[in-house]
Structure 1
Amino acid sequence: MGQWLSTMLFGADHAIKPSCGQVSRNQRRREEKQKRREELHAQTKIIKKKQREEAKAARQTNFQQRLQSAIDAGDVAQRDAMITAVREARAEHVKAAQEKRDRARSNLKNAVLGVCIDCAWWEHMNEQEQKSLVKQIRFCYAAASKRAADEELGASACIWLSLASASPGWERQMDKTCDGWRSWALRIVSDEDIDHESVSASRTLVYLSADADDELDVLSPDELYVIGGIVDRNRLKNATIDKARRIPGCLVKRIPVADLTYRVLTVNHVFDLLVARAAGSSWEAACAEALPKRKEKRQ
């Protein structure tokens, strides 16, 4: 892949500008519903954090009481055994957590299946949409890392994630939203300096679009799957498929889940489906595993 890839796949020159029409009633309702969902999610996180802290405090109190009982009884052997057991359990927990992180990072670096999120439309989204996209990218990386940490899976069943056309504005938003993202096993592909380890002539580009005619069946290491990084509230219709059709040799496919879920899926939902499929699940099982209940079609 040469200069045409730099200018056509990862450049923002061909992005479609959003229309300046007024916000429709349905769009306003969707935004209000999304806002309520995010508020509920934030409240749930606070409640779960408080529950974890209370459970931890209860365990510590119970241990202190048992330890004090052993001290009061003058049982030095029991006291030392309790302290040693706690230290060993803590060391084992730290060791297991580090091994899990190392395994995930190694599998991500050596993964043979690749997915790229094209952020070429960043400047054509408003601030709220940009924040939403950054959150979805964070969810994507978390899903990839969680799957890569699975002891039963190797690098061949994992997906490495790359980002294209990452602008300075995108990096600033990532710094605000995702602490430590610069240490992720994430490949950044820019239109000025293409990472040939991420995008090479040996891979066939496959742009994913719900409007495509051909269906995606099995994921192949010979293909690079591109997801359009758009949170447009239905403004940039057909933007991804139109861009893909301008790229020589680029294929356009859709994930065959139209009968199982609604056509409009977020970036992280599409990525979650690919992660589940890469691990060996059927598309039906991937939908049940990766998508929330609200995305399921009512029969």
Structure 2
Amino acid sequence: MAAAASENVDNQLKPESESEPKPLSKNAQKKLLKQQKYQVKKAEKKAQEKEQKKKAQERKHKEWEETLANVTEEERLKLIESRITLRKERMEKRSEEKEKKIERLTQAKEIGQNIVVDVDFAHCMSETEISSLIQQIMYCYAVNGRSTSPCHLWLTGIKEQMSSHLDKLPGFDKWFIEKETRCYIEAMADRKDNLVYLTADSETVLDDLDPKDIYIIGGLVDRNRFKGITMNKAQEQGIKTAKLPIGEYMKMSTSQVLTVNQVLEILVNFLETRDWKTSFFTVIPQRKRTGVDPVDCSKLQSLSEEHQDKEGHVGESAEEHDLLERKKVCIEVPLESGS
């Protein structure tokens, strides 16, 4: 009885926030509803794409069977042999491309530009935002693997939520990147002077990429809630900061904050071309620019259009429209070698 009475008194003394869950604000309710609607829409689109793919395969199979049925036996054997030869050539080409990719990434680990994606922000994000970041990381890995001058890519701060999400990716254990549970400041303590955090809040403009430096990209979605978080982190750690020279080549219709995959792709493009202008106009979507572009982008139009809807911020219509499409592009055949 005494224990029960004591517990009752303790409950009465507890603040309301501890005894009952705090009701969501109107904005939080709207955001939750929006996320739920997005998940439903995502599931419906996935099911629709799966059904369309199934029907396309059935149609192709039927057309192939009809073709074989309407030719002579000799022609039939030639068609089958031709198809087998074509498949063999495709497999050999993929195998050759895979070997070249492994060679490029192996070389990048030795002499490539070190670029870190700091994923130690999971505690700041919702599940939907974390999923969005995972998509961006997948795209980063695919872009780097296709590059003729890939970087030495790192993921640091892989803990708890982020670790469980990444482990669910097909073939992630075979990704040809560095995976660190520690923060970069610990994992690269002997190279602290070479750490450079890329943040739009920095006053230092990045003119070139120094091979000795290690450039850090903040793995954070919906940064509007956390203005200055990466800049503050870098200042607290006592490391250098810099921002991309976007303002020197184009005017942005919104802030200069880009998604993780956009920043990584700009850097990879620059490593290939050593040209900031080409890199920006190839990657940054037209809708994020304003006014007349100061350069002739006709040659870059197709490349620019390819990236116009590869955004990662939660709630943007572009993401809702293209998230699944990006996933198709990003998931590649895993490399044989481990990281």
Q: Same fold (TM over 0.5)?
A: yes
Residue 170 of structure 1, CA deviation: 0.9
> Which residue number in structure 2 is paired with residue 99 of structure 1?
96
* Superposed displacement of residue 64, structure 1: 2.4
Larger helix percent: 2
CA contact (8 A) 1:207 1:251 kept: yes
- 1:109 CA displacement: 2.7
Q: Which amino acid in 1 is paired with 2:181?
A: S
The CA deviation at 1:45 is 6.8
Q: Deviations over 1:178-230 (max 9, x none)?
A: 2221211121123289997x886398211101111221122232111101112
Does 2:205 match 1:218?
no
**Partners of 2:49 and 2:102 in 1: CA distance:** 27
SS of alignment partner, residue 98 of structure 1: helix
Give the structure 1 partner of residue 268 of structure 2: 275
Give me the whole-angstrom Cα distance separating, in 2, the residues matched to 1:23 and 1:267: 29
* TM-score where L is the length of structure 1: 0.72
Which one of the candidate residues 226, 232, 254 is aligned to 2:243?
254
- Aligned residue number for residue 292 of structure 1: 285
The match for 1:129 is: 129
CA distance, structure 2, for counterparts of residue 281 and residue 43 of structure 1: 43
For residue 224 of structure 2, what is the aligned residue in structure 1? Answer: 234
Q: Tell me how large the CA RMSD over aligned residues is.
A: 3.6
Aligned ranges 1:15-164 → 2 under 5 Å: 56-70=57-71, 73=72, 75-76=73-74, 78-111=75-108, 112-145=112-145, 147-148=146-147, 153=148, 157-164=149-156
In 2, Cα distance between equivalents of 1:163 and 1:120: 9
SS at match of 2:179: strand
- Distance in 2 (alpha carbons) for counterparts of 1:210 and 1:134: 22
What runs of 5+ residues in structure 1 fail to find an aligned partner? 1-19
- Aligned partner of 1:254: which letter? K
Q: Distance in 1 between matches of 2:99 and 2:198?
A: 31
Give the corresponding residue for 1:16. Answer: none
Q: Distance in 1 between matches of 2:230 and 2:276?
A: 22
Q: 2:118·2:219 contact (CA, 8 Å) conserved in 1? A: yes
- For 1:285, the aligned partner's letter is T
* Residues 281/289 of structure 1: CA separation in 2 closer, same or farther (3 Å cut): farther
Q: Provide closer, same or farther for how the CA distance between residues 49 and 284 of structure 1 changes in structure 2, counting only shifts above 3 A.
A: farther
Letter aligned with residue 138 of structure 1? M
- Give the Cα separation in 2 of the matches to 1:188 and 1:281: 27
Partner of 2:182: 191
**Aligned partners of 2:115 and 2:153 also within 8 Å:** yes
Residue type of the alignment partner of 1:234: N
More deviation in 282-291 or 184-193? 184-193
Change (3 A) 1:270 1:45: farther
Distance 1:45 1:203, change over 3 A: farther
SS of residue paired to 2:132: helix
Percent identity, aligned pairs only, is 27
Determine helix, strand or coil for the equivalent of 1:246: helix
SS in 1 for 2:232: helix
Of stretches 231-240 and 110-119 in structure 1, the one that deviates more from structure 2 is 231-240
After TM superposition, list the pairs within 5 Å mapping 1:162-201 onto structure 2. Answer: 162-176=154-168, 178-191=169-182, 201=191
CA contact (8 A) 1:189 1:195 kept: no
Q: Which amino acid aligns with 2:123?
A: E
- My pick for the range that moved more, 135-144 or 27-36, is 27-36
Q: Which protein shows a greater Rg?
A: 2
Asked whether the equivalents of residues 260 and 284 of structure 1 are also in contact (C-alpha less than 8 Å), the reply is: no
Q: Is the 8 A contact 2:157 2:184 kept in 1?
A: no
CA distance in 2: counterparts of 1:297 and 1:117, whole angstroms: 29
TM-score (norm 2): 0.65
